Structure 1
């Protein structure tokens, strides 16, 4: 039997212009809109997803870290980190303690950690997985390193020094509207698909359980409403590409009963518990 569990690792606050970009605005214009926006959305959860599969337990994303609260952890030269997003994670809310509360040793009981992308609120918990297989898109990893990555919402200078992820391409067969894929399990029931837009090389993780399919969307969309309305976020540098990704997710969900689970959607756990298909 295959199951998916949502694990919350703290809260994130963002501007309304980050959650939903303004129609007709390009990538740069959307960033300007975020800085000009006086309005904030209510704190949103930061979810990781634990997959129980006959071949092992797999974790999608690692959430963020309490160290965001430490002066100097976030680079002051990038005002987006310090002024446009607020991350609040207590030490006990990190993914390591959360897994331990479920009776799991994060360093030993997770077959693989799969990263949808390398933004800091998805990689902040990597320190808990020094002995684990870590799988990521090569394109995402390459785009997230160095100054360019830091400018785009990543913190490569804070990654563990031992981090050497297994970098993969979407070189597997097409799946529905997605031009490629990459298998995670031997039985092919967990696999990655390309969902670019929010970040270069962004991927989502598909889990085909016995009675329903789970689409772990990372930040391809922030919530169900934006997906339905095909509204790209304010982070994307290519709004048209983001919209194409949203349409691909909708087309996929139209082909099989699919529960879509973004990383910051407060309504996600309810849909997960009731197996509410998109």
Structure 2
């Protein structure tokens, strides 16, 4: 028996040009569109996903932290942080959210990061005793000044953080050219979904009669994926588009519930086990 629960850790607001990039724009043009845009989307959830599996409790991403509100926490020299608004109350962090469900964060056996952007790693402090898994290729572009320029906050990661960095070294899964198993029974695995950022991965969870696709930021919404609309963050629009098409191809052959990290409709789809169509 596998159970998945969506856990919201605050809200994020972004420009419309960030959520949906223009088809005719390259990486630089997409960024300029975000800075020029005066329109903001509605507050979107920052979602983590708890997977309860016979081999343990697994958490996909850790959300963000209330410390975003503290002056100086976000680097003021990076103007991109002014194009996004993160609001997390202390009790909305992933640790208190789990405790409210009767789960001690220390009982999370494994944390899986789809990538190292700050709104996916902001809750790492709550898991000093857990195994932390992250994609090797994404970690390579997430550290140092390069990482700080690309939406990561490596200077804010816990001092004890030594993630287990994994490669996509397993067999193909449907249209995905490779994978990486997480559980011994093969029901939880990673697949490569680059585009939003280099080295991004998604988590595939295969239950008896349905497959859950925990997409991270491979897409911001199911509607955008179905319409093959990439986001405005990507530095590689062609790769991002190819990833969307690969996910669609996967879902065409396997009953798949799509669960991105910022889709307000994802929790309802999860409860209804509503597959992509």
TM-score, normalised with respect to structure 1? 0.99
Q: Secondary structure at the match of 1:144?
A: coil
Structure 1 outlier segments of 4+, above 4 Å? none
Q: Which residue of 2 aligns with 1:73?
A: 73
Give deviations 1:39-63, integer Å, cap 9, x for gaps. 0000000000000100011000000
Measured after TM superposition, the shift of residue 114 of structure 1 is 0.1
**Separation in 2, partners of 1:182, 1:23:** 31
Between the aligned partners of 1:98 and 1:125, the Cα distance in structure 2 is 11
- In the alignment, is residue 272 of structure 1 matched against residue 270 of structure 2? yes
Distance in 1 between residues matched to 2:3 and 2:247, nearest whole Å? 21
Which residue does 1:94 correspond to in 2?
A: 93
Distance apart, 1:3 and its partner CA: 1.0
Distance in structure 1 (CA, Å) of the matches to 2:131 and 2:98: 17
Measure how far apart 1:196 and its partner are.
Answer: 0.2
* Within-5 A mapping of 1:239-254: 239-254=237-252
Of 211, 214, 217 in structure 2, the residue corresponding to residue 213 of structure 1 is 211
Give 1:185's aligned residue: 183
Task: Give the CA deviation at 1:2.
Answer: 0.4
Q: Distance in 2 between matches of 1:230 and 1:23?
A: 9
* d(CA) in 1 for partners of 2:109, 2:253: 29
SS of the residue 2:105 aligns to: coil
**Aligned equivalents of 1:97, 1:211: Cα separation in 2:** 32
Structure 2 unaligned segments of length 5 or more: list them.
none
> Which residue of 1 is the match for residue 104 of structure 2?
105
Q: CA deviation at 1:111?
A: 1.1
Structure 1 unaligned blocks of 5 or more: none
Distance 1:143 1:9 in 2: 25
Q: Does 1:30 align with 2:30?
A: yes
> How far apart are the structure 2 equivalents of 1:272 and 1:134?
24
Q: 1:210 offset after TM fit, Å?
A: 1.4
Q: In 2, distance between residues paired with 1:259 and 1:127?
A: 30
Distance between the aligned counterparts of 1:254 and 1:110, measured in 2? 32
The 2-side partners of 1:84 and 1:214 are apart by 31
CA distance in 2 between counterparts of 1:245 and 1:132 reads 30
Aligned counterparts of 1:28 and 1:119: Cα–Cα separation in 2: 19
1:224-239 alignment, distance < 5 Å: 224-239=222-237
How far does residue 113 in structure 1 lie from its aligned partner after superposition?
Answer: 0.1
Offset from partner CA, 1:13-57 (integer Å, 9 cap, x none): 000000000111001110010000000000000000000100011
Partner of 2:147: 149
Instruction: Please give the TM-score of this superposition, normalised by the length of structure 2.
Output: 0.99
What is the CA-CA distance between 1:214 and the residue it aligns to?
0.2
1:123 Cα deviation from its structure 2 partner: 0.2
Give the CA RMSD over aligned residues: 0.5
